[in-house]
Amino acid sequence: MQHTGRIHHAFLLRGISGNGKHAFAMRWANALICEDTRTAMRPCGICRGCILFGAGTHPDVEIVESPPGKRNIGIDQIREVIEHIWLSRQFASWKPVVVPGAECMTISAANTLLKTLEEPPGKAVFILITDRSDRLPITVRSRCRFLDFPIPPKELVLPWLAEQLPPSADTGLLLAASGGAPLLALRYGKGDTLQQRTALHKELTMLLTGKANPMIIAARWKTLGCAVVLPWILSYVIDLIRLRFREELQPTLHSDDAAALRRLAGKLDSSFGYRLLDRCLETRRVWEDSTSLNELLLLEGLAIDFTIYDS
């Protein structure tokens, strides 16, 4: 497509985390700067462009991410990229700009990018990636062509996952825990993430049954960070509510915990369940909107909410 010159200039890759958007975007960016015109949308892997891309030093490729230790993509980063696109000497036919975590752009960064998305310099191609497109300003979204990455069917993913992991791995559980995202499931299978997640779910059950101190639990959560624990806590609460109404549903937990959760759900006051859900969503919103909040305080508040249950 790129060699015929017919291409849209701004794309938004949407879908849940860990389902291949990033890998796709990088391969696409590589294909855009590949100098071998015979391979169409496949990078040849051996030309000068591909070699520089592989080394992360291609002068026409921009990857815009939040800096280490920060959660936002700031206006200065966007300005720098735009300046570079306009001023730099062109080496390849296209200048791909990949923005993983596009929802992390601050409002001013997004507004600055907007002007360039409206009138992009001739050969720039913006590839924005997000698993939370609802957090991107509508003005940015409306200037992009969407490419949606749906959750692939389990029947396709499970055999692939089994090939990648040792035979002892519980691929069904890994996939359920990752919300169906294959690459996230693989990451879970290779580290101790699943154990951490199981431990957190046990802690939530203990909090709900008054068997744990919320301050101690919150301090442990803090070591994992809000980015990790908030989605897990949310999925636990959703499982709890689902089990309350549809007992036969398979929760996304380890089977030992599933039994405990099922018992708990049976006694759950549904209005309490919904209150917890609201609190989880509210906590996530506060965390996403703030750059300098006290994570421990936020997590303590949430842990305490789980103890206010007297069934």
C-beta closer to Zn ion: residue 49 or 100: 49
C-beta closer to Zn ion: residue 25 or 29: 29
Residues 185 and 158 sit within 8 Å (Cβ to Cβ): no
Q: Which stretch binds Zn ion (CB under 5 A): 40-48, 98-106, 141-149, 202-210?
A: 40-48
Q: Which two tokens stand for residue 220?
A: 């442990």
DSSP letter (8 states) at residue 157: H
Taking the complex as a whole, how short is the minimal distance between the CB of residue 50 and Zn ion, in angstroms? 3
92 belongs to the binding site for Zn ion (CB under 5 A): no
27 belongs to the binding site for Zn ion (CB under 5 A): no
- For Zn ion, how many residues bind (rule: CB under 5 A)? 6
Q: Which stretch binds Zn ion (CB under 5 A): 38-46, 76-84, 150-158, 280-288?
A: 38-46
C-beta closer to Zn ion: residue 51 or 293: 51
DSSP letter (8 states) at residue 212: S
C-beta closer to Zn ion: residue 37 or 294: 37
Taking the complex as a whole, how short is the minimal distance between the CB of residue 22 and Zn ion, in angstroms? 20
C-beta closer to Zn ion: residue 7 or 238: 7
C-beta closer to Zn ion: residue 58 or 201: 58
**Which contiguous run of DSSP H or E holds residue 97?**
strand 95-99
Residue that the structure tokens 């990648």 belong to: 164
CA-to-CA distance for 137 and 98, rounded, in angstroms?
Answer: 18
Helices 193-208, 226-245: inter-axial angle, 10-degree rounding: 60
> Residues 44-83: x/- map of binding to Zn ion (CB under 5 A)?
x--x--x---------------------------------
C-beta closer to Zn ion: residue 43 or 101: 43
Burial 26-62 (b: 16+ CB within 10 A, else e): bebbbbbbbbbeeeeeebeeebebbebbeeeebebbb
Taking the complex as a whole, how short is the minimal distance between the CB of residue 49 and Zn ion, in angstroms? 5
Q: Which stretch binds Zn ion (CB under 5 A): 34-42, 80-88, 260-268, 282-290?
A: 34-42
The neighbouring-strand residues paired with 13 are 129, 147
Q: Which stretch binds Zn ion (CB under 5 A): 36-44, 65-73, 153-161, 249-257?
A: 36-44
Q: Which of 12, 13, 34, 175 binds Zn ion (CB under 5 A)?
A: 34
Q: Which of 36, 170, 288, 295 binds Zn ion (CB under 5 A)?
A: 36
Residues 56 and 29 sit within 8 Å (Cβ to Cβ): no
**Burial class of 307 by CB neighbour count within 10 A (0 to 12, 13 to 18, 19+):** middle
CA-to-CA distance for 104 and 74, rounded, in angstroms?
Answer: 9
Phi, psi (rounded to 5 degrees) for 96: -75, 135
Interface residues toward Zn ion, by CB under 5 A = 34, 36, 43-44, 47, 50
